[in-house]
Structure 1
Amino acid sequence: VTSPPTMRLLLLLIAACLSQGAHGFYEEGSAVIDLDEKTFERDVMASDDSAWIIEFYAPWCGHCKALAPTYEKVAKNLEGLVKVGAVDCDKYPALAEKFGVRGFPTLKTFSPEKTYNPYTKKTAKMGVNVEGGRTAKALVDQALAALPNYVKNVTIASSATFLSDKDYPKAVLLSDKPAPPSLIKSLAVQFKGRMRFGMGPSTDEELAKLLGGVTEFPKLVVVPGDDASKAVVHTGKLKGAELSEFLAAHARKEKMEDPLASASAESSVQALSAEEFEALLKDKSSLYSVFFHQGGAVPATVEQLAKAFKMFKHKTFDCAKHAAVCKEQVVGTPPVLRLYMAEDKTEYEEFTGKSDCLEDCMDLDSMSDFVAESIPNLVVPITEQTWNAFLAPAYERPRVLLFSKKEEPTSLYKSVALNYKDILPFGIYPNPPKALKDQIGLKKIPQLLIFFSPNASAEAVQGMPYQGEFSFEAMTQVLDQFAAPFRDGFDPNNPSGKSSGKAASAPPSGPIPEITNKGEDSSYEKLCASKGGLCAVAFLDGSEGNKDKREEQLKALEDLRTKMHPSPFHMAWVDAVCHSDFAISFEVSQDRVPTVAVISPSKGRYVQHIGKFQVPEMESTLQGVLSGKKQTGPFSSANPLSERDCAEVHAEILAATTGGGSDEDDEIMREMMEEIKRKEAEAEGEDEDDSGSKKKKKKKKKKAK
């Protein structure tokens, strides 16, 4: 029989355990935000004013318990910059299922940006797995990488454009830093739609004079409209809460799209002339979507459609201006949407709007449905009998295979397959048998596997699981890397691709090429932007004093290139100290050197390696990009390389850091040092006098006793 005191103790222990279970690892008042299904949808998925890092954990998980103190530090360090959340997956298994959580703890970052999915008719965020180190610094760095950069570069030359639009307030940080700090990037996200953010160099004296006559830096200035004479200079500390309060007092109350962002945004849709339309009809290889209209502005939904279905080249054609051409092509009363998907462009699919409506019959959802339903099915059905035959040529050319519960491919999967028509073969294996799932380690379906050989041998064929979001943009971002070596063409009569022999080529040899300003052959355009696929650019210190370290780093890059072959990565390096403006395009500041950035010039996206400059860690970053684990961010364009001779730049830096001044400067420095030493000696003497007098007082007290 349990005695009353023992029973009381047992009840207290049970209550304590229940209390701990109620809040998981993170109690009320913690900087880590405890999320449930409702708050996850409201605060993470539906909100666009913050980036998140979220831990998916289980209370019984030992690794989760070990991570908890570190994660608390992360939350405190990111306060006001990135929100830090946690989900108890024992309580909310649906969230774990939704985001593909396969083990604990799983950490994901969520950017504030959303993507429209034409297949689900929803706009949603993509969760990206956090890879690499689990130290507080590593997690903070990866969380900050989820912040998009909405801060525009401002100079006196561009100030008139930046300050335009009298009804839209602006905030400008004047600083000597080359890139916007995380706090300003975070505030730009929080105030998106209510205020335009910019950053100008403190060396631009005319800009500082224009913006309130600022003479001390860094300083934040708000211009309520388009009149710089009404600039308001923030005089307090550059702290998150204080700045947020200052900006809120000047920001718009209601959100409105920034007119400058709308005007500068590059359109995905091109208006065709009669001659260009004639050329389109002769193009046998490309896929086209053409919106025929009767003059005036083209609906914004056409632009949205273009961003959703990126396998097409999206065009518009004005039948009011080119009536004869529209009549010849038997275009009915506009608006009309046509899809040209065959080699013979006299064949097309046509949409004239919903049949059961009287107005706005070409809404986005209706056009999306039409496009999705019109996409041809290029996906091959796979069975036990055809499984080996489908995969046999994978050592020469990658194969994409979806294991699914459904017999037919979805519109999304058909769209992705169409995007790689005549480049990559796609298959679907419905309800694979258990023996096969065990053989290839398939734990759940649907699962997409990319079968390829890293060394072009049949024995080395492996299936790489796609681990990203099931959306067109996310899937093609990964598959583009496997398709890049085969973009020159594909022979349907020889689907194995053996005639090209590209995948079986020997690994590249020789030194890693350097991006320089010394001619077209070594330019960024030649070594990266024009090559297609991805660039892995190393940002190194090119000074003479760093020569030995740099040679070690370049040797590591050569080893990485060999280990990754065959791959879509074009490797190069650049002197980031000399070409600092170019480096800042990819947010590589001097304190980040050496590092590597993976760049997709065609998509205008990049991701910076976070971690040590060592082959295993850099390989993990590159593989993360290929698998969809690594989140990329946008960049508008690469800043030009410095026109100066790099040797001169490094000589100036060396002189500045080693005291290469005049004799007069040296004398002043000596006098300053002597003055500092004299004051330190006086201070030490005063300390000794004080301690001596205290000892005397203590002795006197003893005698008095």
Structure 2
Amino acid sequence: IGIYDDDLEIITLDRGEFDAAVNSGELWFVNFYSPRCSHCHELAPTWREFAKEMDGVIRIGAVNCGDNRMLCRIKGINSYPSLYVFKTGMQPVKYYGDRSKESLKNFAMQYVTSTVTELWAGNFVNAIETSFASGVGWLITFCAERGDCLSYQTRLKLAGMLEGLVNVGWMDCGTQGELCDNLDISSSTTAYFPPGATINNKEKGGVLFINSLDAREIYQEVMQHLPDFEIISAASLEDRLAHHRWLLFFQFGESDKSNVQEFKKLKFLLKDEHIQVGKFDCLSSPTICNKLYVYQPCLAVFKGKGTGDYEIHHGKKILYDIVGFAKESVNSHVITLGPQNFPDKEKEPWLVDFFAPWCPPCRALLPELRKASKHLYGQLKFGTLDCTVHEGLCNMVSCR
């Protein structure tokens, strides 16, 4: 049994999901450990406290090298516990400091690249207008003589948690008295200004005033305030999917609200891959979902060629797993097969993976198949067939 298997804030990674996680664009701090090592058990209470404090700012991971010897060998782990920071585009960095929560926090925060802007009369209007024009709002804490504003550490944490979604700033009303008066701010306060909010002392249309001083609570309040994904209509679906790459959430009526706030980060994390994110309600057009063999809530990547070229996500419904899947899928050449496109009469060679989504080895093979489809592009075609949906086709080729 792994040390961190039951911890909510610590994500236990195995070989199949490690690369997708650390390449998701988020910042990861990973603890490589062995269940037999006494120092690993000694570190565990501190690692848990550290994970709770940093939750949302960076991803805290753990790899059980007892179960994942090959992964730990590939990563050059030769002593336990070994702690490494991972970020896309950066070499992994090993932590050599002492194992106190404070030291771990100081080390990790060096790699949080998001910034907190000090706002004043000279930059306020331009900063707000530029940000609003690109559809990004501001979370601003105003520090006055009376009341409490957010601490430096809390501001920095929120900038990390809301990176790409909301800008974080602060204003010193002691030196910017006139500006704070114009904004009708007389005591310390924190507010979220969504794009297009009116900012003057007469009215503050759409502005969300926040009473909490806790980073996690503020993050949740702001995330709830951010707009949900666009719902694509049945009439425009084919056209939209033919002109752009999409990650689509298929739902049947009301969507599941768990994880929904966290998923709002997908737009930012998939921006570099030019993947748009939206929703489609199968109750609005059962015909379309039946044609795609979608019978329950799921998410799928469409590769910019209409409804013909897509892949359904069969992994964990967690942010990093979805990001990894979407990035892999849009760049691979794996086709989802069904009766309409099954290659039984084609002259070209095909490698078809007959699989069942409930089978762990089948799920583990899918990322490898995507990699192979890139290496062998032009020589071999790749497809997947879900035997839980297309039982007849699987029986035809004796796959049970």
- If the length of structure 2 is used for normalisation, what is the TM-score? 0.53
Q: Does the 8 Å CA contact 2:252/2:283 hold for their aligned counterparts?
A: yes
1:261 deviates by: 1.0
1:428 maps to amino acid: F
Relative to structure 1, is the Cα distance of residues 259 and 365 closer, same or farther in structure 2, using a 3 angstrom cutoff?
A: closer
2:253 matches 1:400: no
Q: Secondary structure at the match of 1:183?
A: coil
1:438 deviates by: 4.8
The 2-side partners of 1:293 and 1:312 are apart by 16
Relative to structure 1, is the Cα distance of residues 340 and 481 closer, same or farther in structure 2, using a 3 angstrom cutoff?
A: farther
Match of 1:183 among 78, 91, 97: 78
1:344 deviates by: 7.2
Relative to structure 1, is the Cα distance of residues 342 and 474 closer, same or farther in structure 2, using a 3 angstrom cutoff?
A: farther
1:287 deviates by: 0.6
What do residues 330-358 of structure 1 show as CA deviations (whole Å, max 9, x unaligned)? 3352221223323877776434434xxxx
What do residues 649-693 of structure 1 show as CA deviations (whole Å, max 9, x unaligned)? xxxxxxxxxxxxxxxxxxxxxxxxxxxxxxxxxxxxxxxxxxxxx
Within a 5 Å distance, the mapping from 1:408-419 to structure 2 comes to 408=255, 410=257, 411-412=260-261, 415-416=264-265, 419=268
Within a 5 Å distance, the mapping from 1:518-533 to structure 2 comes to none
Relative to structure 1, is the Cα distance of residues 50 and 433 closer, same or farther in structure 2, using a 3 angstrom cutoff?
A: closer
What do residues 564-613 of structure 1 show as CA deviations (whole Å, max 9, x unaligned)? 9xxxxxxxxxxxxxxxxxxxxxxxxxxxxxxxxxxxxxxxxxxxxx99xx
The 2-side partners of 1:418 and 1:348 are apart by 26
2:55 matches 1:116: yes
Match of 1:294 among 143, 148, 166: 143
The 1-side partners of 2:325 and 2:198 are apart by 30
What do residues 473-518 of structure 1 show as CA deviations (whole Å, max 9, x unaligned)? 55456667899xxxxxxxxxxxxxxxxxxxxxxxxxxxxxxxxxxx
1:322 maps to amino acid: Q
1:292 deviates by: 2.0
Aligned counterpart, 1:368 = 219
Bigger helix fraction:
1
Provide the identity percentage.
9
The 1-side partners of 2:248 and 2:151 are apart by 39
What do residues 445-481 of structure 1 show as CA deviations (whole Å, max 9, x unaligned)? 2x1112223xxx55x7322223555455554566678
2:250 maps to amino acid: F
Size of the aligned set, in residue pairs, is 286
Aligned counterpart, 1:442 = 294
Aligned counterpart, 1:271 = 117
Q: Does the 8 Å CA contact 1:126/1:469 hold for their aligned counterparts?
A: no
The 2-side partners of 1:337 and 1:477 are apart by 33
Q: Secondary structure at the match of 2:218?
A: helix
Aligned counterpart, 2:20 = none
Q: Secondary structure at the match of 1:300?
A: helix
Aligned counterpart, 2:382 = none
Within a 5 Å distance, the mapping from 1:231-270 to structure 2 comes to 255-258=101-104, 261=107, 264-270=110-116
Q: Does the 8 Å CA contact 1:287/1:312 hold for their aligned counterparts?
A: yes
What do residues 197-226 of structure 1 show as CA deviations (whole Å, max 9, x unaligned)? 44xxxxxxxxxxxxxxxxxxxxxxxx9xxx
What do residues 161-187 of structure 1 show as CA deviations (whole Å, max 9, x unaligned)? xxxxxxxxxxxxxxxxxxxx4114x43
Relative to structure 1, is the Cα distance of residues 264 and 363 closer, same or farther in structure 2, using a 3 angstrom cutoff?
A: closer
1:83 deviates by: 5.0
Q: Secondary structure at the match of 2:138?
A: strand
1:289 maps to amino acid: W
Q: Secondary structure at the match of 1:257?
A: helix
Q: Does the 8 Å CA contact 1:376/1:414 hold for their aligned counterparts?
A: no
- CA RMSD for the aligned pairs? 5.1
Q: Does the 8 Å CA contact 2:299/2:312 hold for their aligned counterparts?
A: yes
The 1-side partners of 2:279 and 2:7 are apart by 34
Aligned counterpart, 2:159 = 306
The 1-side partners of 2:236 and 2:279 are apart by 12
Q: Does the 8 Å CA contact 2:193/2:206 hold for their aligned counterparts?
A: yes
The 1-side partners of 2:245 and 2:178 are apart by 46
Relative to structure 1, is the Cα distance of residues 424 and 187 closer, same or farther in structure 2, using a 3 angstrom cutoff?
A: closer
Match of 2:276 among 424, 436, 441: 424
Relative to structure 1, is the Cα distance of residues 81 and 480 closer, same or farther in structure 2, using a 3 angstrom cutoff?
A: closer
Q: Does the 8 Å CA contact 1:405/1:431 hold for their aligned counterparts?
A: yes
Q: Secondary structure at the match of 1:44?
A: coil
The 1-side partners of 2:8 and 2:256 are apart by 32
Aligned counterpart, 1:13 = none
What do residues 291-320 of structure 1 show as CA deviations (whole Å, max 9, x unaligned)? 223178725333333333332222222222
What do residues 598-648 of structure 1 show as CA deviations (whole Å, max 9, x unaligned)? xxxxxxxxxxxx99xx9647579xxxxxxxxxxxxxxxxxxxxxxxxxxxx
1:189 maps to amino acid: L
Aligned counterpart, 1:390 = 237
2:308 matches 1:461: yes
What do residues 406-450 of structure 1 show as CA deviations (whole Å, max 9, x unaligned)? 5257442773477589983622315588765553233642x1112
The 2-side partners of 1:49 and 1:116 are apart by 9
1:466 maps to amino acid: H
Q: Secondary structure at the match of 2:123?
A: helix
The 2-side partners of 1:266 and 1:396 are apart by 35
The 2-side partners of 1:315 and 1:337 are apart by 10
Aligned counterpart, 1:588 = none
1:315 maps to amino acid: G
Aligned counterpart, 2:360 = none
The 2-side partners of 1:417 and 1:262 are apart by 23
2:303 matches 1:452: yes
The 2-side partners of 1:46 and 1:336 are apart by 32
The 2-side partners of 1:338 and 1:388 are apart by 36
Within a 5 Å distance, the mapping from 1:585-600 to structure 2 comes to none
Relative to structure 1, is the Cα distance of residues 619 and 116 closer, same or farther in structure 2, using a 3 angstrom cutoff?
A: farther
Q: Does the 8 Å CA contact 1:82/1:143 hold for their aligned counterparts?
A: no
What do residues 113-162 of structure 1 show as CA deviations (whole Å, max 9, x unaligned)? 788369xxxx88699xxxxxxxxxxx7444556x6xxxxxxxxxxxxxxx
